[in-house]
Structures are given as structure tokens and as C-alpha cells.
């Protein structure tokens, strides 16, 4: 668990590090450690995370020669491939953040399409006075941003940006309408009108001349694998499966698995136990038990899998009373909604107007998506 935050000024003006400190501060006392903000070259960057047993905790990272700095949230899975292309040593002492920063200083934006994993990061290039925000191909991690006078602010969570005076925090009714409909057509939207987010598989480059958003990865529907028999396909799958699981336990001192006893979670548990036999990792499985509900209770199967592979199992008992109380609250809220029909009609009208441009009514959307072209 980690988070990043920062503010940059494209025109060389000062940036308040105290503002970034408020943005990155954990909401309550916890075991997260805050690093930064690092204040230099009209920028202030900060990082917050839990110090893992074997992970380098060296952020924010800054390079004085290139005047570049990075804050990185996530994990790079293909470290060896990236290091090989860059011609550097894939040492355990070199963190993922350092590897990405070295890649940017060596290859610029060309390093980004070659990255694989779950990540979101920000690079401030003081020489070019530009900010680069990147989100992983599947959008597992997140990075949001908002315009500020003379520059841009960014953070892992949109709520961090509410620390900035002047950010438009009005509800984005268009986003809520799409979310309720189950069809998100504006992936850069958030619940706030004045805050955007970088879509999955995109890189955003911002400077004084504007903002540019580009897709750096997409699925190739024409790619095909051709093997001689099923055994070769199975062998290739096992290699990919082992690599995927191994990459998710790398540099972690504690690993949790949601184990239901079904095929998917059981296979992941077995592979995790296999790839961590030589690693000092605290591997534990977790299961939810439903006493008295035999059709839903999978604790027996989860325990068989855990015992077979020597993985400690933590069982969490489902509390019926808590669930029933939640249902009663939901029913009460529904009754309240029924008694306020006039308010409901107003809200529905607002949602319709928010996305009116998509249904032919001619209404203007509340938030315009950022163009992939450079905009002033």
C-alpha cells in the first residue's frame, strides 16, 4: 500500500512544500511512512508507503545531473527485460523507481511501452519543465490530477487534491450517471468536476504549452500462438502463471491470498507456495466462513488446499446480524427515497443533462474529456 503526490510549476515559480505534505499525510495514525516532500526546480514530490522487509524505500528519487525526479507507486514485473534493454545491472538494491528513472533519463518516453506490472508514477523533468504521469496497462493503480495556477497537481487519490484551494469539488453528475448505468465512456472522469485521472495504459505529458494524453499499450487481437500439441500450450501457460505469481510476491515480506477453495484461488495458492519455498515470505490465506449456510460455506475446501500446501489459513466468520442490520439500513434508506419523489425527479434530470450530448438532447457535458492532441 502506497501513495504519491506532488505539485509542479511550469513557469519556474515557487511551490509550497507544506501543501504537498498535507496532500500525502495519512488520514489517521497507521504504519505508513511518509517521505518528502522533496522540493526542487519548481516542484515538490512526496511518497507514502509501508516499509516492506526487503524493498528499497528510497523515494522520492531525484537526479541532480538531469534535474529529473520520480515518485513511483506499484511494481515492475519485467525488471530483467527492462534492465537488459537499458544495459544496467538488475540488482536487488536498484528499486523499481530507480530503474524507471534511469530508463527515462536514458531513453525518454520510449521506456514506457516496455514496462509491465501494476504501477502509477510521476516524473518531473526540470530541464524540459514538463510533468509525465503514467498508469499501468490494466489500470490497477491510479493517479489523478488537477490544474493549479501556473502548473499541475497530482495524487494517487482524488481526495488528496481537495487540499488545494480553488479545485472544483462539485459533484460530476455525468460520472455518477455513467457509473449507475454500468457504462463508463469517459475514463478520465472522477466524481469531482475539477479533478481528472490518467486512463489505463496512457501517458500524460503536461507543460506550459498544454496537456497531451497518449495510449502506449493496447491488446493485439491478431496475435496468435501456434504449438504442436496441447502439452506445449500447457507448458507455456505454466511458465506465464508462475512468472505472474512470482512477480507479485517479489520484495514483499507479507503476502495474503483470498482462498475460496475453488479452482482459481486454489491454483494461485499452490503456485504461491511453490515459488516462495526459497523466499522468506509470510504467506497466509484468508477465507470467509458461512456457518449454517452449507451451499455458501467453502471453508472445508479452502482448508484442504491450505493444509496440502502448508499455507496458514485464517478463517473469518460471516456475521449474520451485521448483514441483516445492513439490509435494514438499506431498506430504511429506500423508504426515505420513496418519500422524496420530487428530489428524485430533480436528480434524474441532472444526470440526464450531464450526459445529454450522448443521447441527442444537445446538452453540453459537465466535464469534457481531455483530447489526445496537445491543448493549450
- Comparing 328 with 77, which gets the higher pLDDT? 77
Residue 263 C-beta-side C-alpha neighbours within 13 Å: 0
Global pTM reads 0.78
Task: Read off the CATH number of the domain in which 248 is found.
Answer: 3.40.50.620
Q: 236 with 300, same domain?
A: yes
| Mean pLDDT of the 128-155 span | 96
Instruction: Report CA torsion sign: 67, 1, 276, 240.
Output: negative
Q: Is residue 210 part of a domain?
A: yes
| Mean pLDDT of the 170-199 span | 94
What pLDDT was estimated at residue 321?
59
What pLDDT was estimated at residue 365?
32
Q: How far apart are CA 145 and CA 198, in angstroms?
A: 8
The domain in which residue 340 lies consists of 321-358
Give me the number of domains the chain comprises.
3
pLDDT digits (tens, 9 = 90+) for 322-338: 555 655 666 665 555 45
H-helix or E-strand containing 248? helix 230-249
Task: Read off the CATH number of the domain in which 144 is found.
Answer: 3.60.20.10
- pLDDT of 92 higher than 70: no
pLDDT digits (tens, 9 = 90+) for 344-375: 444 444 444 444 434 333 333 333 333 344 33
> Which are the contacts of 260, defined by CB distance < 8 A and separation ≥ 6?
287, 298, 301, 302
- pLDDT of 32 higher than 90: no
Q: What is the DSSP string of 222-242?
A: T-----SSHHHHHHHHHHHHH
What pLDDT was estimated at residue 101?
95
Strand partners, 46: 5
Residue 142 C-beta-side C-alpha neighbours within 13 Å: 16
Q: 326 with 304, same domain?
A: no
Highest mean pLDDT among 26-30, 47-51, 355-359: 47-51
What pLDDT was estimated at residue 172?
96
Amino acid at each position: 500500500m502506497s501513495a504519491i503526490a506532488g505539485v509542479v510549476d511550469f513557469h519556474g515559480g515557487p511551490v509550497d512544500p507544506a501543501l504537498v505534505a498535507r496532500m500525502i499525510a495519512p488520514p489517521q495514525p497507521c504504519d505508513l511512512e511518509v517521505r518528502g516532500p522533496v522540493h526542487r526546480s519548481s516542484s515538490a514530490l512526496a511518497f507514502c508507503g509501508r516499509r516492506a522487509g526487503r524493498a528499497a524505500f528510497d523515494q522520492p528519487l531525484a537526479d541532480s545531473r538531469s534535474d529529473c525526479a520520480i515518485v513511483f507507486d506499484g511494481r515492475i514485473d519485467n525488471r530483467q527485460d527492462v534492465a537488459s534493454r537499458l544495459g544496467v545491472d538488475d540488482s536487488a538494491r536498484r528499486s523499481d523507481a530507480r530503474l524507471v528513472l534511469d530508463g527515462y533519463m536514458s531513453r525518454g518516453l520510449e521506456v514506457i511501452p516496455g514496462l509491465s506490472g501494476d504501477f502509477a508514477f510521476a516524473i518531473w523533468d526540470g530541464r524540459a519543465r514538463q510533468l509525465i504521469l503514467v498508469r499501468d496497462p490494466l489500470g490497477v493503480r491510479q493517479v489523478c490530477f488537477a490544474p493549479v495556477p501556473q502548473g499541475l497537481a497530482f495524487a494517487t487519490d482524488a481526495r488528496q487534491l481537495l487540499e488545494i484551494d480553488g479545485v472544483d469539488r462539485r459533484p460530476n453528475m455525468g460520472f455518477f450517471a455513467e457509473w449507475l448505468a454500468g457504462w463508463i465512456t469517459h475514463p478520465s472522469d472522477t466524481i469531482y468536476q475539477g479533478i481528472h485521472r490518467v486512463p489505463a495504459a496512457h501517458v500524460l505529458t503536461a507543460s506550459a504549452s498544454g496537456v497531451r494524453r497518449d495510449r502506449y499499450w493496447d491488446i493485439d487481437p491478431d496475435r496468435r500462438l501456434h504449438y504442436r500439441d496441447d502439452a506445449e500450450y500447457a507448458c507455456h501457460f505454466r511458465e506465464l502463471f508462475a512468472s505472474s505469481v512470482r512477480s507479485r510476491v517479489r520484495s514483499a515480506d507479507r503476502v495474503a491470498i483470498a482462498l475460496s477453495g475453488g479452482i482459481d484461488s486454489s491454483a494461485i495458492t499452490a503456485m504461491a507456495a511453490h515459488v516462495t519455498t526459497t523466499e522468506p515470505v509470510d504467506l497466509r490465506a484468508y477465507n470467509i466462513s458461512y456457518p449454517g449456510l452449507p451451499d455458501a460455506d467453502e471453508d472445508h475446501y479452502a482448508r484442504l488446499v491450505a493444509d496440502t500446501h502448508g499455507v496458514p489459513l485464517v478463517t473469518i466468520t460471516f456475521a449474520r446480524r451485521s448483514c441483516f442490520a445492513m439490509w435494514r439500513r438499506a431498506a430504511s434508506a429506500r423508504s426515505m427515497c420513496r418519500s422524496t419523489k420530487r428530489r428524485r425527479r430533480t436528480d434524474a434530470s441532472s444526470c440526464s443533462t450531464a450526459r445529454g450530448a450522448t443521447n441527442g438532447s444537445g446538452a453540453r457535458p459537465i466535464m469534457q474529456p481531455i483530447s489526445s492532441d496537445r491543448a493549450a
